[in-house]
Amino acid sequence: MTDLSGKTALITGSARGIGRAIALRYASRGANVVVNYAGNKDAAMATAADVERLGGRAITVQANVAVVADIHRLFNEAAARFGEIDIAVANAGVELIGIDFVDITEEQFDRLFTINTKGTFFTLQTAARRVADNGRILYVGSTTTAVPVAREGLYGSSKIAPRYAVEVLAQELADRGVTVNTILPTAIEGAGVFTEFDPDHPVRQFVSRPGRIGRRMGTVEDVADAAEYFASDLAAWVSGQTLLVTGGSFQ
């Protein structure tokens, strides 16, 4: 079992969904957790309470990753409470799918690129400056950056730039022993646009096709498994890599 005792993990967008699952997984392995949220304080407090129930220590920090000053404050508050930051997970983002490329508006473009691209870029940059030597940096992206999907052009485009940044940072931080990796989840039940949706949603037919283990959607626990691996000693010499969490499918 992974031992994260004494380590501190900062996870953006960790009040719910994938971020929450990673926060709870790290807490169950002994880590202190910085729970970040943009607006849902109640959900963040509930996550922090669950972290402490699992034996970890937690703080909640409201910060909007679209605002660079908020990102800096997030890391400052984490360091003030726990000292060194050992693990940083750039998870916060927004989804907007089901829109033809020709119908994308400037307002939609600005929103997704401000949060998913700019916000993640500067989260990674701040993590590169602040994470302790031999630490871990993770980016939670999307399989739409690996396999183009019709009507998801805006979302996939906004998520692809940080993948490049991860591979650059992996090289630039190698001498410090800091690993930088990407996780690309498929459609995940209980996360993003799939937090609450009709059981007859077309995505269920999509994921039930042959070629996917269990012919099911992914779960937040599937993603937390990958995040645990990358945070562990087993991945100390794995950096600049991209791991698809798809059950064997390419999407």
**CB crowding 172-183: b at 16 or more within 10 Å, else e:** ebeeeebbbbbb
Percent of the chain with pLDDT strictly greater than 90: 82
Query: Would you state the pLDDT for residue 208?
Result: 65
Q: In the chain, what's the furthest Cα-to-Cα distance?
A: 50
165-189 pLDDT, tens digit per residue, is 999 999 999 999 999 999 999 888 7
Query: Would you state the pLDDT for residue 218?
Result: 85
Residue 246 near residue 223, CB atoms below 8 Å:
no
Please indicate whether residue 28 is annotated as part of the active site: no
Domain ranges across the chain: 8-245
3-state secondary structure of 103: helix
Query: Would you state the pLDDT for residue 200?
Result: 61
Query: Would you state the pLDDT for residue 89?
Result: 99
State the Rg of the chain over Cα.
17
The two tokens of residue 212 are 């996917």
125-168 pLDDT, tens digit per residue, is 999 999 999 999 999 999 999 999 899 999 999 999 999 999 99
Query: Would you state the pLDDT for residue 190?
Result: 61
Closest CA to 184 of 217, 160, 214: 160
Helix axes 120-130, 153-172, angle to 10 degrees: 20
Please indicate whether residue 159 is annotated as part of the active site: yes
Q: Which helix (H) or strand (E) holds 204?
A: helix 202-207
Of 155, 157, 239, 249, which residue is the catalytic one? 155
Query: Would you state the pLDDT for residue 40?
Result: 95
Of 7, 159, 239, 249, which residue is the catalytic one? 159
Query: Would you state the pLDDT for residue 1?
Result: 79
Query: Would you state the pLDDT for residue 197?
Result: 57
As its CATH architecture, domain 8-245 has 3-Layer(aba) Sandwich (3.40)
Please indicate whether residue 239 is annotated as part of the active site: no
Of 26, 37, 118, 142, which residue is the catalytic one? 142
User: Which residue ranges of the chain lie beneath pLDDT 50?
Assistant: none
- Residues 6 or more apart in contact with residue 153 via CB below 8 angstroms: 99, 101, 104
Instruction: Render 47-82 in DSSP notation, one character per residue.
Output: HHHHHHHTT--EEEEE--TTSHHHHHHHHHHHHHHH
